[in-house]
Amino acid sequence: MQSFPKPLSADEERECLDRFRQGDNNARNILIEKNLRLVAYIARKYASKDREMEDLISIGTVGLIKGIDNFNENKQIRLATFCSKCIENELLMYFRSEKKQAKDIYLNEPIGSDKEGNEIALIDILESVDDDVAEKMELEDNIVRLRDNIGDVLSSREREIIYKRYGLPDGKKELTQREIADEMGISRSYVSRIEKKALEKLRKLWP
- Which residue(s) pair with 48 in the sheet? 51
Query: Is there a domain that residue 169 lies in?
Result: yes
**Residue 147 pLDDT > 80, yes or no?**
no
Q: In terms of DSSP bridges, do strands 119-121 and 110-113 run parallel, antiparallel, or are they unpaired?
A: antiparallel
Q: The CATH number of the domain where 71 resides is what?
A: 1.10.1740.10
Asked if the structure places residue 127 within a domain, the reply is no
Give the chain's domain count.
2
Structural domain for 48, as ranges: 10-95
Question: Which is more confidently placed, 138 or 5?
Answer: 5
Q: For residue 125, name the pLDDT band (cuts at 50, 70, 90).
A: very low
pTM of this structure: 0.47
Distance of CA 96 to the CA centre of its chain: 6
**Is pLDDT at 131 greater than 50 in this prediction?**
no
Stretch 105-113: mean pLDDT: 57
Cis peptide before 5 (omega within 30 of 0): no
Q: Is 118 helix (H, G, I), strand (E, B) or coil?
A: coil
**The last residue of a domain, from among 71, 95, 119:** 95
